[in-house]
Chains A and B, each alone.
Chain A
Amino acid sequence: MLGNNGKIDGFSGINPIESKEELIKIYPAKVARKRAKHITVYDREEGDPPEIEANVRTVPGIITQRGCSYAGCKGVVLGPTRDIVNITHGPIGCGFYSWLTRRNQTRPPSDESENFITYAFSTDMQEKEIIFGGEKKLKQAIQEAYDIFHPKAISIFATCPVGLIGDDIHAVAREMKEKLGINVFAFSCEGYKGVSQSAGHHIANNQLFKHVIGLKNEKNDAKYKINLLGEYNIGGDAFEIERVLEKCGIELVATFSGNSTYEGFANSHVADLNTVMCHRSINYVAEMMEKKYGIPWTKVNFIGAESSAKSLRKIAAYFDNAELKAKVEKVIEEEMKEVEKVRAEVKAKCEGKTAMLFVGGSRAHHYQDLFTEIGMTTVAAGYEFGHRDDYEGRRVLPTIKVDADSRNIEELEVSADEKLYSPRKTEAEIEKMKSKGIDFKEYEGLMSDMAKNSLVIDDISHYETEKLLEIYKPDIFCAGIKEKYAIQKMGIPCKQLHSYDYGGPYAGFKGAINFYKDIDQMVNTKIWKEIKAPWETEPQLSARYGSE
């Protein structure tokens, strides 16, 4: 293991319990009590991670990083697919704001190939539709989208008013599907459902499973076939992962959903293993595919060079083929040469520095590996929309209480498909693999990897972010664009992990190199120190000479 896990440099003087108090003391008593449950200090020596409150509604008036279920459904899960026309059913704002907002890249095979990512269709509801219903307009919009593009599939996303005025978007979808002879399906992802984007992920998973996965049945003769779930091709990550897998001779049937296509989804059930990157947003599909088609799933992580190597080895071990294993080792060896060279240079300059990560539902975990590789310690981290299992591990699943906000999100009843179910491994084989350390249906959660006494904060508020920065003054803070400029106003560099600040890729081996270099540049750059005017730094200069 790299880095200095266990020993925490750089913030030894700060008592995490006191910092927790500091973060919440301004709140009214009731709110403080609530927020206290979302903040834990993990003392590794005390066994399992402590319970953290997560996936509950944000207190009104607390400025959150979270978005809505529409954002999770349309923006995150379906957004990166290039050949489905997405129509937002609602007033103009939601569709406009989710128009090519993430830097989801895609690579159509040719200039003429379908790519609708740059389009934002909306029914642009007006008062008339709010009063009299918007189904008619929705039908027309679907027809128009069809007339312009003749796509294979059209999907419809509901925004807040839709559920309230009682539009039956699923009936509209069925009718238009019949009429146009293409696949049309809808998502009831109204923003008020659930407590964050996470509800939208679940809704997206359900509908993809119901309406797309398994529709096609094209034979695929490749020897080692996998799907990659929960990878959204931010900054071209998917391209790098695709490159590495191809080099190893592993066939990627479908990615959900970076650089993906409708056909890929439809045929994804022919894969022999589902590998899961972002557990939060896509574990439902993995679970359901296992039940229906008999495809096991395992957690992987292609963020971090070591983690990528580990993930590749896991895939090779699953297929249990000597040739594949040798190939994977060779690729790792080749790729690691350059990685190690850059890492050594960067590590020398970054060792001992501290990072904080507050983002998403898996990124705040995955990126810790990259920081560890260059000797930096993550002193505080948390998710925007994670659940308890994403923090504490899936072993807590049976004990999670489902509250009113999540109860209304449909849980699909799934059973084995009469024709297509075929268990890829026997139970005995699975058990044997488990005994060799290959885990299935398992995710350890973020806390398992964090340093002793680090702070874990769920759904951190804007206010808490500011306080945290004040107390810890980390060398870098990872978040999204909403936080970026506030953090930088305090002189601390902020790396965006939703868009990579238009850098990247950061996945795989080449991505790790990019990340090391970018982080080096950010934490060691002079700008952050020279921001102070000369008359402000001078007195401090002399003080520093004295103490150093």
Chain B
Amino acid sequence: MEKKTFVSTRNACKLCAPFGSTLVFKGIEGALPFIHGSQGCATYIRRYMISHFREPVDIASSSLGESATIFGGRKNLSAGLKNVMKQYNPKMIGIATNCLSETIGENIEQYIKEFQSNDKAYSKIPLVGVSAPSYKGTHQTGFHEAVRSVVKTLVKRKGERKKLLSILPGFVSCEDLRHLKEILEDFGLDYTLLPDYSETLDGVFWNEYRKIPEGGTPIRRIKEMGMSKAVIELGKSLLKSESAGSWLSKEFDIPYYNLPLPIGIQESDRFFKTLEKVKGFPMPEKYKKERGRLLDAYIDGHKYLFGKKAVIYGDEDFVASMASFVSEIGVIPVLCASGEDRLKETLKTLIDPKIMDQIEVLPSSDFMEIAEKAEVLKPDVFIGSSKGYFMARKMKVPLMRAGFPIHDRMGGQRMLHLGYKGTQMLFDRLVNIFIEVKQETSPVGYSYI
């Protein structure tokens, strides 16, 4: 890897670990996220999540103050948990540490054990602790660590093998989660999707206020994950040793499929093939048609796309699958960038070496570095979150918003990326960006292009 010439982070392309962890807890039925540490982070994280999802987000905190930095936060944690239980009556509390509690060396697992054995009255509500110091990794680390903690804490029994499929989708949009569920249902699969914040963070209008929104993966279903006949885990950036899926597979001897996010035909095919294998019969007609239509569109849109250059930035798994998709349609992902540090390895797992040669990869990068590189590479489009708007505007290059966070447009949570259908939507948007540029820059106001 090239040595970076800077040490500070200038406009970061990553968020912090507790963000990812609390998001996972939002996707479990009846669960309430809790940050053990200073309250500021809980507030910042709530606000940030809300700016994208536009839904209520409650995250409690143990509000550690100066005295806790000396005496520890044990008392605050137990008082906080009790208060939350009284007010919200949650079915589970997911507790993430933060930089403060980690720096003073709090042992969350130990505290939870003590709390549950000290007071039987409070031991009925499952508590899941996750260590989430942001000085190690990113929001993605916090996300996957939390999924792993949930699974390790709740999945206990080893019973009779069921037809159950466990699927761990990673950090995708609410619409992506809904689409995954639709696919699994159409396959007739009995599944557990973890986490599932498709309802809790993109819910319907309520006639009556609910302290904890409906939806989320039922805890009962999580408990049964050990009896799965297969585990599918999306995201090639995961180191095998650290993922929830690989743990489940090892612990309960379950076949494990680690796949990239299914964006583009190649990766969607891989995903559907896996489902066919798990279920034992071919994919429903509906998806064959979706695939066919997508292919047809690829051919129709080719003339607008061929040879165009894209800069893609964001989370590694998102960037890798996006890059794979755009290279299918003749767009060169000239620059792939992420605030995470394993981007190259991740890309290599799904991108053809010939195409890899044409890609500049910037792992551990920030938006200043991305912008500097982009100035040289002169892309035709940026693909990524709202956070790239500033450079896109400066360079007068269009931005196709995708991924997270999207808080300068409505509907980021309802944006579909996955499967043939998600790809179709991305494809149409991308082509239209180029058509629009062509139209807008044409001296004649053609309405037919």
Contacts and interface: CB of A to CB of B under 8 A. Distances in A.
Given A26-B87, A191-B40, A96 B12 contact: yes
Contacts of B79: 59-61
Contact of B66 (A145, A405, A536): A405
A126 B8 CA distance: 11
A119 B390 CA distance: 10
Interface residues of A, number: 80
Nearest to A118: B390
A14 B112 CA distance: 43
A141 interface: yes
B99 interface: yes
Interface string B118-133: 0000000000000001
Contacts of B48: 97
A66 B43 contact: yes
Given A93-B99, A164-B69, A191-B100, A489 B138 contact: no
A129 interface: yes
Interface stretch (B52-60, B321-329, B395-403): B52-60
Contacts of B16: 91-94, 96
A404 B7 contact: no
Contacts of B51: 481
Interface stretch (B202-210, B280-288, B311-319): B202-210
Contacts of B41: 68, 93-94, 191
B410 interface: no
Contact of B80 (A61, A137, A485, A490): A61
Contacts of B40: 67-71, 94, 160, 191
Contacts of A164: 69, 100, 103-104
A12 B12 CA distance: 52
Given A161-B103, A490-B209, A92 B65 contact: no
Contact of B15 (A70, A92, A140): A92
Contacts of A93: 15-19, 41, 44-45, 99, 134
Interface in B15-60: 15-19, 34, 37-48, 50-51, 54-60
Nearest to B210: A489
A192 B10 CA distance: 25
A66 B6 CA distance: 34
Contact of B99 (A71, A123, A160, A194): A160
A130 B15 contact: no
Nearest to B11: A120
Interface string A81-101: 000000100111111111101
Given A60-B62, A93-B19, A404-B66, A123 B9 contact: yes
A71 B43 contact: yes
Nearest to A469: B209
A107 interface: no
A65 interface: yes
A532 interface: yes
Interface in A95-120: 95-99, 101, 118-120
B68 interface: yes
A372 interface: no
Given A93-B19, A485-B55, A87 B8 contact: yes
A484 B54 CA distance: 8
B207 A532 contact: yes
Nearest to B208: A490
Contacts, number: 229
A45 interface: no
Nearest to B16: A93
Contact of B8 (A58, A71, A124, A165): A124
B7 A137 contact: yes
A141 B65 CA distance: 28
Given A66-B43, A160-B38, A192-B69, A141 B8 contact: yes
A451 to B, nearest CB: 26
A446 to B, nearest CB: 22
Q: Which residue of A27, A58, A130, A482 has the most chain B CB atoms within 10 A of its CB atom?
A: A482
A57 interface: yes
B67 interface: yes
A486 B50 CA distance: 10
Given A124-B9, A485-B54, 20 more contacts: A59-B83, A60-B77, A62-B83, A63-B58, A63-B59, A68-B39, A70-B40, A91-B133, A91-B134, A93-B17, A95-B9, A97-B48, A120-B10, A160-B40, A163-B69, A192-B65, A480-B47, A481-B47, A489-B206, A532-B207
Interface of A: 26-28, 31, 57-71, 87, 90-99, 101, 118-127, 129-130, 137, 140-141, 144-145, 148, 159-161, 163-165, 191-195, 404-405, 408, 462-463, 466, 469-470, 480-482, 484-486, 489-491, 531-532, 536
9 contacts: A61-B34, A69-B40, A93-B15, A95-B12, A137-B7, A148-B368, A161-B99, A164-B103, A536-B207
Q: 7 smallest A-B Cβ distances: which pairs? A: A68-B40, A93-B16, A60-B80, A61-B83, A61-B80, A141-B8, A486-B56
